[in-house]
């Protein structure tokens, strides 16, 4: 995703600022609307074709006039499209931009990561994963490939399966973690970890766990 983890986004603060700015619209929405968006996002995380359909429709909105009708054959997207269809134009554009940003982040992740994120949602461990990934971004992954140590307390989950799930999630973004807090980055993972951070942040916001 162009807006996250590019050459000029080498610092944690810039990435966090970008994510907060692009997701800010969600904090202004009612719980009912947030839930509709959240359910649609969860549905597309299980189906890349559906993700692509929603992404395309959201990207098209700024180009369309007021009479534009959002249509879909998918029952998973109908509630969202109906809600957006009846939103004021300025709000619609902001929400569409926010959703596009989240979908861009999800698109950067592997299919297995999307499934792990869904499981993390069920287990209610997103907020801890978010802190962990934020800590990883602070390790200057954009500039170094050297092993490092992170705060092992961030790896303290209630259940062993949650730790294993989280370690797998992070490893798929290019950082191998050990239970003692040691970490080994591979293949310059900054951009992948930044996309994971954006996805975790947005899902935490949408699910009300942030």
Split the chain (210 residues) into runs of 10 and give each run's mean pLDDT. Answer: 43 89 95 96 96 95 82 95 92 95 96 97 96 88 77 91 96 92 85 95 87
Cβ neighbours for 133, distance < 8 A, ≥ 6 positions apart: 170, 193, 196, 197, 200
The pTM of the whole model exceeds 0.85: yes
From the number of C-beta atoms within 10 Å of its C-beta (0-12, 13-18, 19+), residue 207 rates as: middle
Please report the pLDDT score of residue 143 as a whole number.
67
Q: CB neighbours (10 Å) of residue 155?
A: 20
CB 117 within 8 A of CB 200: yes
Which helix (H) or strand (E) is 110 found in, with range? none
What is the reported pLDDT for 147? 87
């Amino acid at each position: 995703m162009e807006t996250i983890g590019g050459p000029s986004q080498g610092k944690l603060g810039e990435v966090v600022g970008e994510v907060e700015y692009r997701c800010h619209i969600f904090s202004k929405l009612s719980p009912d609307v947030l839930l509709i968006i959240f359910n649609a996002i969860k549905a597309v995380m299980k189906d890349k074709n559906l993700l692509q359909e929603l992404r395309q429709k959201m990207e098209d909105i700024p180009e369309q006039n007021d009479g534009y009708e959002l249509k879909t054959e998918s029952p998973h997207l109908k509630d969202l499209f109906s809600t957006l269809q009846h939103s004021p134009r300025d709000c619609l554009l902001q929400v569409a931009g926010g959703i596009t940003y989240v979908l861009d982040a999800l698109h950067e992740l592997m299919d297995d990561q999307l499934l792990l994120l869904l499981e993390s949602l069920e287990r209610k461990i997103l907020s801890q994963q978010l802190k962990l990934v934020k800590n990883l971004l602070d390790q200057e992954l954009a500039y170094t490939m050297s092993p490092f140590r992170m705060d092992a307390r961030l790896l303290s989950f209630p259940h062993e399966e949650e730790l294993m799930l989280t370690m797998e999630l992070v490893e798929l973004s290019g950082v191998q973690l050990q239970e003692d807090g040691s970490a080994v980055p591979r293949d310059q993972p900054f951009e992948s970890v930044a996309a994971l951070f954006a996805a975790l942040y947005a899902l935490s916001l949408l699910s009300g766990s942030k």
